[in-house]
Amino acid sequence: MLDALVVGKGPAALACAAALGERGAATGLLGPAGEVHFPAKYGVWADELKDAGVPPLFDHSWPRAVAHAGRAHRLDRTYARVDNARMAAWLAGRCERAGVRTIDGAAAGIGARASATAVRLREGGTVEARVVVDATGHKPALLPRQDRPAQAYQTALGYTVEADVHPFAADEAVLMDWRDGHLPAGERGGFPTFLYAFPLGDGRIFVEETALAARPALPLPLLEARLWRRLDALGVRVRRVVDREEVWIPMGGALPRRHARVVGFGAAGGFVHPATGYSLARSLAAAPALAEAVTAALDAPGATPESATAAAWDAMWPADRRRRFALFRFGMEQLVRMDGDWARDFFDSFFALPGADWCGYLGDGLTAREVSGVMTRLFTHASGGTRRRLALGTLGPGGRDLAASLLQTAVSAG
């Protein structure tokens, strides 16, 4: 019988399995047959992976980024794109060296035993482990999700293209370009989308039109039409399309329930930042903490599957992190309400904050009190129109959900 079974084969699953194996747990990794392959493209702040103890496994990096809102904001922070093949090889190598057992298959359900949890496989048979970790992404294989509060969705449509002419500086990543002068008059000022763009050298660029948070999700054909209009307005002359990317990320919603038999990790565990859509850096950084909690719980006298799962959940979601998640989710609700003019005004104020503020808000290193401080400073320095709209947001469903979440956290912590 295994000590731990990690379900999934993405970066979060491999990082979790490697960390467990490295701490002496007999660990299995359940996922599709074949070599590890990550289809999504991951953009990250380089310092966040460094802080997580991950080597710079990048295929490109840019020493600064730019955000265009009402004006251009140059951000002196290195942005990078993960080299998926190298990241997969690094994580898979760690798993192999730690003795992680690879199991081909898909999880279909669980059954409870006195001292273990049995994971049923679609292909037939079961795998038993003292603790089970679901790291299968946005549609968890084993974890139920609550309906309230409602999720929003980040959607994006992107291409890697070869272009004879383009306006992007070689040393600068375009993090956000909210300008909408290229849109037909009837669409300007409506629901905002932005350009995310990387120059890759040799005339290649990656360009993506993104809806940051919407409910319902903005359809991909709309994003595609906007992207081509934007590229034409920017004078980009595409010679050849190299590949195409579609992005669909659920954001916000409820935290995963504290399940008696399954631990959620990565996107399956609610790690997606409700206001940005990022989760990779947090997953890689959180794997050692989860592994420490699980192995300590399994080594404790009278250990049970329930006690190990509870210890893991508590390590991933202490009270302060739950409060911070509620604050980020409130921020997401404001994004859902924004039109184009408000988005540009809001992000002008956001990126005018001190670097420690906007870096901290976009990342995972602040306490709930510090996040609240950033939000307060943003409100103080925003224009009158943005302040009025943010204040109205506290009276709507987002404000009520925030108050309820903070109250529930206070009661459970007390």
Q: Tens digit of pLDDT per residue, the chain (414 long)? A: 999 999 999 999 999 999 999 999 999 999 999 989 898 889 999 999 999 999 999 999 999 999 999 899 999 999 999 999 999 999 999 999 999 999 999 999 999 988 999 999 999 999 999 999 999 999 999 998 776 788 999 999 999 999 999 999 999 999 999 999 999 988 888 899 999 999 999 999 999 999 999 999 999 999 999 999 999 999 999 999 999 999 999 999 888 778 879 999 999 999 999 999 999 999 999 999 999 999 999 999 999 999 999 999 999 999 999 999 999 999 999 999 999 999 999 999 999 999 999 999 999 889 999 999 999 999 999 999 999 999 888 877 666 666 556 656 654 554
What is the β-pairing status of strands 237-252 and 151-165? antiparallel
> Which alpha helices (DSSP H) does 234-383 contain, by range?
280-299, 305-316, 319-337, 340-351, 355-362, 368-381
Span 62-103, pLDDT tens digits? 999 999 998 999 999 999 999 999 999 999 999 999 999 999
What lies within 8 Å, CB to CB, of 111 at 6+ separation is 117, 118, 120, 126
Give 71-74's long-range contacts (Cβ < 8 A, gap of 24+): 71/348, 73/348, 73/351, 73/352, 74/172
Which pLDDT value is given to residue 170?
A: 96
Q: Do 37 and 13 contact (CB within 8 A), yes or no?
A: no
Which pLDDT value is given to residue 394?
A: 81
Radius of gyration of the chain (CA): 22
Specify which residues 251 forms β-bridges with. 152
Which pLDDT value is given to residue 148?
A: 73
CA distance 40 to 27: 26
How far is C-alpha 89 from the geometric centre of its chain's CA atoms?
Answer: 21
How far is C-alpha 4 from the geometric centre of its chain's CA atoms?
Answer: 24
The continuous run of DSSP H or E covering 270 comes out as: none
Q: How many CA atoms lie within 13 A of 344 on its CB side?
A: 18
Q: Do 8 and 31 contact (CB within 8 A), yes or no?
A: yes
Q: What is the DSSP letter of 387?
A: H
CA distance 100 to 77: 36
Span 344-400, pLDDT tens digits? 999 999 999 999 999 999 998 899 999 999 999 999 999 999 999 998 888 776 666
Which pLDDT value is given to residue 144?
A: 82
Which pLDDT value is given to residue 411?
A: 46
Specify which residues 4 forms β-bridges with. 27, 131
Domain 2-58+83-146+256-317 matches domain 151-251 at the CATH topology level:
no
Q: Do 18 and 94 contact (CB within 8 A), yes or no?
A: yes
Which pLDDT value is given to residue 255?
A: 82
Supply the pTM of this predicted model.
Answer: 0.93
Burial class (CB in 10 A: 0-12, 13-18, 19+), 222: middle
Which pLDDT value is given to residue 401?
A: 65
Locate the domains of the chain by residue range. 2-58+83-146+256-317, 151-251, 320-413
What lies within 8 Å, CB to CB, of 400 at 6+ separation is none
Specify which residues 153 forms β-bridges with. 214, 250
Q: In CATH, what number does 2-58+83-146+256-317 get?
A: 3.50.50.60
What lies within 8 Å, CB to CB, of 227 at 6+ separation is 157, 158, 159, 195, 207, 208, 209
Q: How many residues are recorded in the chain?
A: 414
Instruction: Name the residue among 271, 242, 245 with its Cα closest to residue 256.
Output: 271
Pick the CATH number of 151-251 from 3.30.200.20, 3.40.50.1010, 3.40.720.10, 3.30.9.10: 3.30.9.10
CA distance 361 to 368: 10
